[in-house]
Amino acid sequence: MRPFQIERLRYLSPEEADPQKVLPSSVEAAEQFEVNADQDKCWTFFSDLSNIGSCIPGCESITKIDDTTAMFRVKLKVGYLSKTFEMKAKLNEVRAPSNVVFTAEGPDAEISGDLAIASTEPDKRTSVKYKIQIRATSVMGKTAVTMMGKDLVKRQASEFAFCVKAKLES
């Protein structure tokens, strides 16, 4: 007797094997945390894409284009595989001092997000809440989203929050 037995082997049709249909196309993450800093300090930090980029896990470089636009070079590493993505990030809506809506676009993915900042008076703490959605736009992007999975995205969201908190509280 063999240790395993294949009962039926079937080839997939080109339609069934199409990575655009088989691989997931998006993943979301959200995080909420409090910072020992006032709302104005938090607002100044989040209204500058250089500060945001410096806390993105794997961000290797930030090239500021103007006050609301920057290029991010982010290296994603999962196991022994890695891929570097270049994305153009933009602050789309800025409602001082409490809300930022942002996007980042590249050849492989689009990211959209929303960040809310609220003072927790009278203790001079600030509540920060954000959510992002990563939507793959290419086969490479879908492969990356599949490899990342929700757990890695959640871990990276936590790492981002930890970095922000450390920088704002220093």
Residues 156 and 26 sit within 8 Å (Cβ to Cβ): no
Residue 14 forms part of a structural domain = no
Highest mean pLDDT pick, 50-64, 75-89, 109-123? 50-64
Q: How many domains does the chain have?
A: 1
Tokens of 145: 């989203």
Residue 5 forms part of a structural domain = no
Type of residue found at 168: L
Q: How many whole angstroms separate alpha carbon 19 and alpha carbon 143? A: 8
Tokens of 98: 């409490």
pLDDT in tens, 35-60: 999 999 999 999 999 999 999 999 99
| Max CA distance (Å), the chain | 73
Could you tell me where the DSSP H helices lie in the chain? Answer: 14-17, 19-22, 39-46, 49-54, 139-169
* CATH code (residue 109): 3.30.530.20
Q: pTM for the full model?
A: 0.82
Residue 1 forms part of a structural domain = no
What are the φ and ψ backbone dihedral angles of 140, each rounded to 5 degrees?
Answer: -60, -40
Residue 12 forms part of a structural domain = no
Which positions ≥6 away from 60 have C-beta within 8 Å?
A: 73, 74, 75, 84
Residue 11 forms part of a structural domain = no
Identify the domain containing residue 31 by its residue range: 24-169
